[in-house]
Amino acid sequence: MNLISVEDIAVRYGGNIVLQNVDLDIEQGEIVTVVGPNGSGKTSLLKAIIGAIEPTKGRVTLKRGLKIGYVPQRLNFNPALPITVERFMRLTAKTERHSCVIALEKAGVSELLKEQMSALSGGQFQRVLLAAALLGYPDVLLLDEATQGLDQPGSASFYRQIETVRHDTGCAVLMISHDLHVVMSASDRVICLNGHVCCAGTPAVVASTPEYKALFGDGTDGALALYRHEHDHDHHNNQSANTNEVAL
Amino acid sequence: MLDDFMTRAALAGIGVALAAAPLGCFVVWRRMAYFGDATAHAAILGIALSLALDVSIFAGALLVSLLMAWTVTRLSLRGYAIDTLLGVLAHSTLAVGLVVVSFLSGVRIDLMAYLFGDILAVSRADLAIIWGGAALVIALISWRWVPLLITTLNEELAYASGLNPNREKLILTLALGITVAVAIKVVGVLLIVAMLIIPSAAARSLARTPEVMAVVGGVIGMISAVVGLRAAYIFDTPTGPSIVCIASIFFVIFSIIGSVRNKRF
């Protein structure tokens, strides 16, 4: 049975239809990435899966006893809430300090155990969130634009860690991402969303569809075309080439 | 021991401080200070109605506070501009309450007692209600402590952990209503939010975990209640405001210590 099964859902906010005719299945051990422009309903899809919003049509079925590890984009707490990395990790997963240390070591940030969450840098923060999500031994990891705010090497190494996690634990990964070049190399399947599923399939197939090119530009590799818009550094082509190499 | 009005007053203050600290932490973390004000101000309307209908003012205040808190929660879920809405509701219920009180002829009412508290007049029955309410609030918050924290940090994270954030928020609403109702006698409707946020905020600079902040906030609140009561007796000042003054002094001192120790805060 699929871990997550989304059948023909529609989501409305007020009068606006945010999502319609969306089907999606997540199987054990696969990495699926949802891409799409802003306002395309990516986050709504994720919210419908975790039950934060009720679809107006269709249904979402989770495998019985499915354990979800959720990595939010950010935490919306203010500095008035004191919380150490250790306390945060032990909130969602009732576990011992020892397990936290191991999880942080795997994430390469073992020195952060006693730090305040509010004092972490963007990259450290995302690694801690991921380590915390993994503490509960999830069957599926959900990542909501988890690399937003990270620089290219930072997000590349973050995705390498996701790949390692999948390899080590066999959990499935569903992520929303803007890093198209990483998506192309690190995902088993890509779903291109724009209110509905425009196209879906392996990265190579998706990148060659006219729908994808219409949304993300029409270079030989749409991902790189978009990527060029964002930053204009001399070395970035090398950078992404390196990333692809490592991730592959 | 309970025959002494100072002892009863001190116990009442301690009871309110104990309930206010853990709840106050969430008020600070979730930026609900104005929400608390609206709930507390609405209580004056509850008091006016209970005087008019000749029922217990605890019951009236509790009912109207809960109604207010629940209404605001519902409206905010529908996406109203919450800041303006709270401002409108807080002050209109306070005003309507004051007007209703003025209509009650034949009843001699010391309005100041409800606005700023009348802790020296706490009876044994009041004490029982205050401690009963405080125990209920502490029990509610400790029971839902972890779910409430997760909900405060990130609602999607709460959903993914199998929690229902709306239910957790309802718990806070309920706790707030009860706290308002039992704190009226001690600090009055205008200063209830001060008892909620000032001890907790003072504890912030000393705490590294949420639990420590709640416990230290409770201790600061209790000391403020006892010292404030004593100070009011010595200097012949109003007790409710004196308690809040002591808490504020703690806040200033600890904030200075905190900022010296840690430049970030």
For residue A227, the one-letter residue type is Y
Say yes or no: A78 contacts chain B, CB-CB below 8 A: yes
B163: in domain:
yes
B14: in domain:
yes
pLDDT score of A225: 40
Q: Over 80: is that where the pLDDT of A174 sits?
A: yes
Residue A115: both structure tokens together: 């730090």
Overall number of domains in chain B: 1
Give me the percent of chain A exceeding a pLDDT of 70. Answer: 85
B32: in domain:
yes
Q: What is the DSSP string of A38-61?
A: TTSSHHHHHHHHHTSS--SEEEEE
Cα distance between residue A93 and residue A71, in whole Å: 13
Only one residue has tokens 């569903």, namely A174
Per DSSP, the three-state class of A31 is strand
pLDDT score of A82: 92
Helix (H) or strand (E) holding A23: strand A16-26
Residue A245: both structure tokens together: 């190499």
Q: Where residue A13 falls among pLDDT bands split at 50, 70, 90?
A: confident
Q: Over 50: is that where the pLDDT of A89 sits?
A: yes
Q: Do B153 and A119 touch (CB under 8 A)?
A: no
Size of interface A-B (CB pairs under 8 A): 71
Q: Over 90: is that where the pLDDT of B231 sits?
A: yes
The CA-atom distances, in angstroms, between B257 and each of B35, B133, B216, B220 are 29, 34, 15, 15
Q: Over 90: is that where the pLDDT of A247 sits?
A: no
Q: Which CATH superfamily is domain A4-67+138-247 in?
A: P-loop containing nucleotide triphosphate hydrolases (3.40.50.300)
pLDDT score of B179: 93
Residues 6+ away with beta carbon under 8 Å from A65: none
CATH number at residue B25: 1.10.3470.10
Nearest CA in chain B to A89: B150
Q: Over 60: is that where the pLDDT of B241 sits?
A: yes
B219: in domain:
no
- Other CB atoms within a 10 A radius of the CB of residue A23 amount to 14
For the segment B94-144, what is each residue's pLDDT rounded down to a tens digit? 999 888 888 876 666 778 888 888 898 899 999 999 999 999 999 999 999
Average pLDDT of chain A is 80
Instruction: Report the sign of the C-alpha dihedral through residues A145, A151, A156, A161, in that order.
Output: negative
Residues 6+ away with beta carbon under 8 Å from A16: none
Give the domain range for residue B145.
5-190
Our CA-based measurement puts residue B110 at a distance from the nearest CA of chain A, in whole angstroms, of: 38
Only one residue has tokens 């718990």, namely B171
B75: in domain:
yes
Q: Is A214 exposed, middle or buried (0-12, 13-18, 19+ CB in 10 A)?
A: middle
Cα distance between residue B265 and residue B262, in whole Å: 6
B248: in domain:
no
Q: Where residue A232 falls among pLDDT bands split at 50, 70, 90?
A: very low
pLDDT score of B9: 93
Cα distance between residue A85 and residue A75, in whole Å: 13
Residue A134: both structure tokens together: 């993994």
Our CA-based measurement puts residue A116 at a distance from the nearest CA of chain B, in whole angstroms, of: 7
Of A50, A78, A116, the CB nearest to B159: A50
User: Hey, which of A111-120, A167-176, A182-191, B135-144 has the most confident mean pLDDT?
Assistant: B135-144
The stretch A80-95 carries a mean pLDDT of 88
First to last CA, chain B: 44
Q: Over 90: is that where the pLDDT of B218 sits?
A: yes
Instruction: Report the sign of the C-alpha dihedral through residues B167, B168, B173, B176, in that order.
Output: positive
Query: Rg for chain B (alpha carbons), in Å?
Result: 18
Q: Over 70: is that where the pLDDT of A197 sits?
A: yes
For the segment A60-79, what is each residue's pLDDT rounded down to a tens digit? 999 988 999 998 877 766 78
Helix (H) or strand (E) holding A101: helix A97-106
The residue extents of the domains of chain A are 4-67+138-247
Least confident of A151-160, B238-247, B251-260: A151-160
Say yes or no: B110 contacts chain A, CB-CB below 8 A: no
Residues of B in contact with A83 (CB under 8 A): 149, 153, 209-210
The stretch B19-45 carries a mean pLDDT of 91
More confident residue, B261 or B91: B91
Q: Are B17 and B225 in contact (CB under 8 A)?
A: yes
pLDDT score of A229: 34
Helices then strands (H, E): number in chain A? Answer: 10, 9
Helix (H) or strand (E) holding A4: strand A4-13
pLDDT score of B192: 92
Beta strand A4-13 pairing with A16-26: antiparallel
Closest of A32, A242, A38, A217 to residue A155, by C-alpha: A242
Give me the percent of chain A exceeding a pLDDT of 90. Answer: 25
